[in-house]
Amino acid sequence: MSEHLPPNHPPVPQQKVGVLLLNLGTPDATDYWSVRRYLKEFLSDPRVIETPKWLWWPILNLVILSFRPQKSGHAYAQIWDKERNDSPLRIISEAQTADLARRMSGDGVVVDYAMRYGNPSTRSVLEKMQQAGCQRILLVPLYPQYSATTTATANDKAFDALKAMRWQPAVRTAPAYFDDPNYVKALGDSIREGVAKLNFEPDVVITSYHGMPVDYLKKGDPYHCQCFKTTRLVREYLGWPKEKLMVTFQSRFGPTEWLQPYTDKTLEALPEKGIKKVAILAPAFSADCIETLEEIAMQGKETFMEAGGENYAYIPCLNDSPGGMDFVEAMVRRELSGWV
């Protein structure tokens, strides 16, 4: 191509296809200001908080951001990778990206990752990929179940970046994969393997999904139904009875009613019902993060054991496990059909 360019023409990179893995985000450090910057971006997103801006702005800036960063910073510090001085989510995202890039290397595909909130920002990575010659880019929001608060806002951020580009790449978005047979198999196998490694037999295995206000469900968000379908399909894949695998919702925020049953309240109540051995996982997350490692693995265990539980185990997310990455590769190859 360069042979036909006029003299002094800027170099033209070889055309490439890009794959951009998108996840929620993480602060850059655990100190007050790093966490505050992250929380402000996250909680200012109208896809996440649908309260009218005139009402939400003073609550967020004058109240929540005055005390929440200290509490969240302490929680992040509990799970922070001290050796690499980074968050587990970013470390795992880098590992997922490297693994997928290795798997796709023979196809000439450029693989990268970005965060909806925090760094690396979606805009910066999209610009880097476009400048590297990626004229076709597949956006892959790593959220199994669709929600406006996750999948939609991740795509929104990418579309905002595209608006500012003079030379836009062609873009595809990967769909939610809550009922994809390959995903169900990967998740089911991880549960079976996770339980097999335990030194006790769980009375019940809990699939704890990130919660959302009930009002969002009433407005048409399909997330609630997709969570239940994921668990039902996994239970059928495992061949377990209905009572062996249950659904709960975690991470409530604010005074409004959220999706139920609540994870923390369930963990408090189970020992009284004679259910004292529990394993738990968080299928709404593709990579372990503060909501899984601190809220579920740590706080959840404390809640359950104080209520009279005897055994408690957290089963990790798919992360960059071979089974999890087999699924991601299969999904990406399917969505790149016609491009690669």
Render 103-122 in DSSP notation, one character per residue: HTGGGTEEEEEEEEEESSBH
pLDDT, tens digit, for every residue of 276-327? 999 999 999 999 999 999 999 999 999 999 999 999 999 999 999 999 999 9
What is the pTM (predicted TM-score) of this model? 0.94
User: At 318, which helix (H) or strand (E)?
Assistant: none
193 is in an annotated binding site: no
User: For residue 1, is pLDDT > 60?
Assistant: no
Which pLDDT does position 7 carry in this prediction? 73
Q: Round the average pLDDT of the chain to a whole number and report it.
A: 96
**Mean per-residue pLDDT for 70-74?**
97
Distance CA(285)–CA(294), nearest Å, equals 14
Judge if 16-177+323-335 and 181-314 fold alike in CATH terms.
Answer: yes
In the chain, what are the domain boundaries? 16-177+323-335, 181-314
Distance CA(148)–CA(21), nearest Å, equals 17
pLDDT band at 13 (very low <50, low <70, confident <90, very high): low
pLDDT, tens digit, for every residue of 193-209? 999 999 999 999 999 99
Contact 170, 220 (CB under 8 A): no
Which pLDDT does position 255 carry in this prediction? 86
Which pLDDT does position 142 carry in this prediction? 98
Which pLDDT does position 107 carry in this prediction? 86
Domain 181-314 adopts which CATH fold?
Answer: Rossmann fold (3.40.50)
User: At 262, which helix (H) or strand (E)?
Assistant: none
Contact 285, 318 (CB under 8 A): no
Which pLDDT does position 14 carry in this prediction? 81
Distance CA(84)–CA(29), nearest Å, equals 11
User: At 95, which helix (H) or strand (E)?
Assistant: helix 88-103
pLDDT, tens digit, for every residue of 16-37? 999 999 999 999 999 999 999 9
Class of domain 16-177+323-335: alpha beta
Backbone angles phi, psi at 249, to 5 degrees: -130, 135
pLDDT band at 108 (very low <50, low <70, confident <90, very high): confident
**Mean per-residue pLDDT for 44-73?**
96
9 is in an annotated binding site: no
Distance CA(167)–CA(136), nearest Å, equals 11
Beta strand 109-118 with 16-26 is: parallel
pLDDT band at 253 (very low <50, low <70, confident <90, very high): confident
**Mean per-residue pLDDT for 106-126?**
96
pLDDT, tens digit, for every residue of 77-106? 999 999 999 999 999 999 999 999 999 998
pLDDT band at 12 (very low <50, low <70, confident <90, very high): low
pLDDT, tens digit, for every residue of 152-183? 999 999 999 999 999 999 999 999 999 999 99
Q: What percentage of the chain carries pLDDT values higher than 70?
A: 96
The 10 Å Cβ neighbour count of residue 13 is: 14
